[in-house]
Amino acid sequence: MNKRPLLFAVDNLTYHYLPDKLVLESVTLDVYQGESLAILGANGSGKSTLLKLLSGLIFPIQGQITAFGHELTENALQDPVFLQPFRQKVGFVFQNSDAQLFSATVWDELAFAPLQSGLSPEETTYRVEDVAKLLGIEHLLERPPYRLSGGEKKKVALACVLSVNPEVLFLDEPTNGLDPRTQFWLVEFLMALKQAGKTIITATHDLSIVEDIAERAIVVNENHTLAADGPVLQILSDRKLLLDVNLIHERSHFHVGASRQHG
């Protein structure tokens, strides 16, 4: 029995964008506070869709999602009493950074969420400077986000989310497009957040980072149902499962323990 508070309960969830094409079917899943969970699956299996459902950007067609003890519905999220704290507790770093960067400068981008959450201009300035330092992006503060490189945008997107210090982080393919040093840095950073007790849910098919950033993994198969849910090392050791769900190729040499050593 898990003694940590239950943050998300997904019960028999089904979702489709187009009526005749399910993208998630009968998904049941619990996420407890402080867990680090990887959502694994091939392209198009439904990982990003599951993150969007958990963060209340879209809503189940069938089944239900409970978040922090409340059912996550369109109606519930129209109630400011639920919406405001929910948006502060949950941060989402999108697969495509361009989908979340829209301000004239990086500074404005980082200040947006703190100001929205009601912080004073002085507190906001402090937060912006603090989070920019944390991510090593002080030199980018005056730049327009759309002119940054992919990796720089990813850091800014992450900084935006961290600027309101959310309890839960949803990360969609966070290492995509990052060079090895930045990737290594990000994995270390996520390990530190995990140590600090954040709940981190990461969708990825980059198996090389999974054992560093997650203790538990779920696997979505190409039929859009859950193929597995368990300790990350157990899942990464199951070569037949990884082959079946198209996470490795039969000629792939992936094996557990292949991740880099982190200090």
19 binds ligand ATP (CB under 6 A): no
Determine the residue type at 60.
Answer: P
Q: Which of 22, 23, 54, 72 binds ligand ATP (CB under 6 A)?
A: 23
What is the spatial distance between Cα 262 and Cα 197, in angstroms, rounded to a whole number?
18
Q: How many residues bind Mg ion (CB under 5 A)?
A: 3
48 binds Mg ion (CB under 5 A): yes
Q: CA angle 229-202-248, nearest 5°?
A: 65
Q: Point out which span in 45-53, 105-113, 135-143, 179-187 binds ligand ATP (CB under 6 A).
A: 45-53
Say if residues 35 and 41 touch (Cβ distance below 8 Å).
Answer: no
Select the binding partner of residue 217 from ligand ATP, Mg ion, none (C-beta < 5 to 8 A, by kind).
none
What is the spatial distance between Cα 163 and Cα 138, in angstroms, rounded to a whole number?
14
43 binds ligand ATP (CB under 6 A): yes
Alpha helices in 35-149 (DSSP H): 47-54, 80-89, 106-116, 121-134
Say if residues 82 and 244 touch (Cβ distance below 8 Å).
Answer: no
- Please state the closest distance from residue 231 (CB atom) to ligand ATP, in A: 22
Q: Token pair for residue 126? A: 């402090």
Nearer of residues 45 and 163 to ligand ATP, judged by Cβ: 45
Residues numbered 86 to 125 that lie near ligand ATP (CB under 6 A) are 95
Q: Which of 4, 5, 28, 44 binds ligand ATP (CB under 6 A)?
A: 44
- Please state the closest distance from residue 44 (CB atom) to ligand ATP, in A: 4
Say if residues 61 and 262 touch (Cβ distance below 8 Å).
Answer: no
Tell me, residue by residue from 88 to 107, as one string, x for binding to Mg ion by CB under 5 A and - for no binding: -------x------------
155 binds ligand ATP (CB under 6 A): no
Q: What is the dihedral of CA 159, 165, 168, 172, to 10 degrees?
A: -10
Q: Give me the residues that bind ligand ATP (CB under 6 A), please.
A: 17-18, 23, 41, 43-49, 95, 205
